[in-house]
Chain A
Amino acid sequence: MSATFMASGSRLRNFSKRLMQVVITLLGLLILTFTIGRVMPIDPVLAIVGPDADQSTYQQVYQQLGFDKSLLTQFGIYFVNLLHGDLGNALLTGKPVIDDIIRVFPATLELATMAIIVGAGLGIPLGVLAAARRNSVYDYIVRIISLAGYSTPIFWVGMIGLLVFYAWLGWVGGAGRLELGLDGVVPRRTGLMTIDAILAGNSQVFWNAINHLVLPASLLGFHSMAYISRMTRSFMLAQLSQEFILTARVKGLTERQVIWNHAFRNILVQLLTVVALAYGSLLEGAVLIETVFSWPGFGSYLTGSLLLGDMNAVMGCVLLVGVIFVMLNLLSDMLYQFFDPRTKS
């Protein structure tokens, strides 16, 4: 009784320590984005008032934006605004950055979710296969596939995919989320095109959305498949070398039972954390693949703002990516703590 109590106490302490680390990391993230925003070579005042403005207007906007205050005060203002969910206004749309991000994010979410389904759905079986037939031809092929996944420039594969599957073969839809004529047919509820189409009961839009989604999502998924299959393989190898596996084999279980019921079940928790991390790193690929596919998501928004020198939008996006990453890390840690009985000692 008391032992369990003590154990839960130490877990609580561990957890609060971890939480403290996360808070410090987030604060550091803020300082980083703030600093990057300040050293940007584009004069934000000039970007607002235009080159023809006279000195007094310039000064007025300069003071409005708070550039006359000390850096520390500026950081304080930035921080307080952020706590209110205020990331400043985007130059291009004139709307608050946070609204813009909320508007574009579902498109990326849809893409990334589809991609992780592809990535995990292919990567895990491939990794198990490679581990089960270690040093065989299969293992070698899986190794090369995963190295290829690490090595392909994703924007290029996206273009080649468009060229082959859209322009030559006509199997999938082209750039964008829907055909031009279907834009705005279903009302926006969740922002996820497929879900919206189901809610509206419009099968034509649904299939069109899937048709447009399948190519960019598979290509993104190929990228995370490389990582997932590799990790699966090494986790499986670690399990397969253990004594209980030998026992299971000696008992006369079939190879399939040994691999799936004994070894694979033990790596599920580790896999969960790997998939969570892979999901986060899809954001990186999304920045490039969205540009290629004119996918109106977060990545397109980021690169578009970047080329315009829209400081508020860029820093808002970068901050968001950092926060998502930190949170996914925390989540995967907690999943591990929660599901793996070995961490409860």
Chain B
Amino acid sequence: MSISLDTPQGNQASETSLRVRRTLSRCWGFVIKMARNPLTAIGGSIILLLVIVAIFAPLIAPYNPLVQNLNNVLVAPNAQHWFGTDEFGRDIFSRLVYGARITLYIVLLVSITVGPIGLLLGVCAGYFGGKVDMVLMRVTDIFISFPSLVLALAFVAALGPGLEHVVIAITLTAWPPIARLARAETLSLRQADFISAVRLQGASPARVLWHHIVPLCLPSVIIRITMNMAGIILTAAGLGFLGLGAQPPEPEWGAMISSGRTYMMECWWVVTIPGLAILINSLAFNFLGDGLRDILDPRSE
């Protein structure tokens, strides 16, 4: 009688599929939980809309955002131009739609860079302690001692205006709070019994960090990054408004407000509409982050 080797293999395959299914159902449960909280649901759907608009901008925008039409300057909102036209006769709705791409580009690029860097540095500092920790904490002290907009201003001044430089400047100002958070989380985990147990089993520091500490730090880091996104939108818009961000004729929302400023008193829509876009989107990210905290962080009340 021979024992079939198929059984364990078959089990393995079914176990993987089971695991995938379990992960999926957990994700789905998470989405349901989020949708049940009204603020999170509103925030999430606005962001989803922003992403869709950014991806399909050429299909959605009825006009070219850059082409000027001097016969059609500063037209009030009407059926042809839903949000009116600006001082060069460009359709504001189309410019908003393309501006969504710029906003999303900045937010995503900064978050993707800042998250891993902050997490890595914070977790290492918290876990290894000693000199590494001290140096890192002093460096973050320096960065945190500035309001982020002022520091970003200084960096953009050094690098010169431009979209890429805005991304670099905001990244440089945004990582320290994340690193601090990750460090604090790690410090509270480091002494836990299960970490000692893993260590006694002979796990390398890298394994302990990657498999046991990072997953537990992730929720609070993700919440923090989501709430940061609102701040990133505002800082980017502020830099754009000061003329340091994306350069004209790029349809960046902050720059649109700045260029519409001269006509503000006669033509309210030139300034109001891009500002509303900034407000709604940063509000959406704040709603989402706030709701995520309720769901992911059991310690918050």
Binding site for B on A (CB under 8 A): 21, 24-25, 28-29, 32-33, 36-37, 39-41, 143-144, 147-148, 150-157, 159-160, 162-163, 167, 237, 280-281, 283-284, 287-288, 291, 302-303, 306-307, 309, 314-315, 317-318, 321-322, 325-326, 329
Do B149 and A288 have beta carbons less than 8 Å apart?
Answer: yes
Do A284 and B282 have beta carbons less than 8 Å apart?
Answer: no
In the complex, B31 has a CB within 8 A of chain A: no
How long is the Cα–Cα vector from A306 to B159 in the complex, in angstroms? 12
* B residues less than 8 Å from A160 (CB atoms): 271-272, 275
Min CB gap B201→A, angstroms: 38
Do A148 and B158 have beta carbons less than 8 Å apart?
Answer: no
How long is the Cα–Cα vector from A322 to B146 in the complex, in angstroms? 5
Instruction: Known A36-B154, A40-B157, A281-B147; judge A28-B142 contact (CB<8 A).
Output: yes
Of B15-23, B212-220, B237-245, which binds chain A? B237-245
Nearest residue, chain A, Cβ from B253: A153
Min CB gap A128→B, angstroms: 17
How long is the Cα–Cα vector from A159 to B160 in the complex, in angstroms? 27
* B residues less than 8 Å from A29 (CB atoms): 142, 145
Do B141 and A21 have beta carbons less than 8 Å apart?
Answer: yes
Nearest residue, chain B, Cβ from A310: B157
List 16 other contacts, CB 8 Å, given A147-B39, A156-B278, A315-B154: A37-B158, A39-B158, A40-B157, A40-B158, A152-B282, A156-B274, A156-B279, A157-B275, A159-B275, A160-B272, A163-B271, A287-B153, A303-B153, A306-B242, A306-B244, A322-B142
How long is the Cα–Cα vector from A147 to B268 in the complex, in angstroms? 25
How long is the Cα–Cα vector from A94 to B153 in the complex, in angstroms? 23
Of B67-75, B88-96, B180-188, B283-291, which binds chain A? B283-291
Instruction: Known A147-B287, A155-B257, A163-B264; judge A25-B138 contact (CB<8 A).
Output: yes
How long is the Cα–Cα vector from A302 to B154 in the complex, in angstroms? 10
Binding site for A on B (CB under 8 A): 39, 138-139, 141-142, 145-151, 153-155, 157-160, 230, 234, 237-238, 241-244, 254, 257, 261, 264-265, 268, 271-272, 274-275, 278-279, 282-283, 285-287, 290, 301
How long is the Cα–Cα vector from A287 to B148 in the complex, in angstroms? 12
* B residues less than 8 Å from A39 (CB atoms): 158-159
Do A151 and B150 have beta carbons less than 8 Å apart?
Answer: no
How long is the Cα–Cα vector from A157 to B275 in the complex, in angstroms? 8
A-B contact pairs, 24 of them (CB 8 A): A21-B141, A24-B138, A25-B141, A25-B142, A28-B142, A41-B160, A147-B283, A150-B282, A151-B279, A151-B286, A152-B279, A152-B282, A155-B254, A156-B257, A163-B265, A163-B271, A281-B147, A283-B150, A284-B148, A314-B154, A318-B153, A321-B146, A321-B147, A325-B145
How long is the Cα–Cα vector from A173 to B190 in the complex, in angstroms? 58
How long is the Cα–Cα vector from A280 to B144 in the complex, in angstroms? 12
How long is the Cα–Cα vector from A59 to B82 in the complex, in angstroms? 58
Min CB gap B121→A, angstroms: 16
Do B265 and A322 have beta carbons less than 8 Å apart?
Answer: no
Do A314 and B157 have beta carbons less than 8 Å apart?
Answer: yes
4 closest pairs, A vs B, by CB?
Answer: A156-B275, A284-B147, A28-B142, A151-B283
Instruction: Known A29-B142, A153-B234; judge A288-B150 contact (CB<8 A).
Output: no
How long is the Cα–Cα vector from A37 to B34 in the complex, in angstroms? 46
Do B264 and A25 have beta carbons less than 8 Å apart?
Answer: no
* B residues less than 8 Å from A154 (CB atoms): 238
How long is the Cα–Cα vector from A304 to B157 in the complex, in angstroms? 12
Could you say which of B139, B145, B159, B243 contacts A322, with CB atoms under 8 Å apart? B145
Nearest residue, chain B, Cβ from A291: B242
Instruction: Known A25-B138, A160-B271; judge A153-B238 contact (CB<8 A).
Output: yes
Do A147 and B286 have beta carbons less than 8 Å apart?
Answer: yes
Instruction: Known A25-B141, A28-B141; judge A153-B157 contact (CB<8 A).
Output: no
How long is the Cα–Cα vector from A317 to B146 in the complex, in angstroms? 11
Min CB gap A32→B, angstroms: 6
Min CB gap B103→A, angstroms: 12
Do B301 and A237 have beta carbons less than 8 Å apart?
Answer: yes
Nearest residue, chain A, Cβ from B242: A303
* A residues less than 8 Å from B282 (CB atoms): 150-153
Do A302 and B153 have beta carbons less than 8 Å apart?
Answer: yes
Could you say which of A32, A284, A288, A315 contacts B142, with CB atoms under 8 Å apart? A32
Min CB gap B189→A, angstroms: 23
Do B157 and A326 have beta carbons less than 8 Å apart?
Answer: no
Could you say which of B139, B151, B290 contacts A28, with CB atoms under 8 Å apart? B139
Nearest residue, chain A, Cβ from B142: A28
Min CB gap A120→B, angstroms: 18
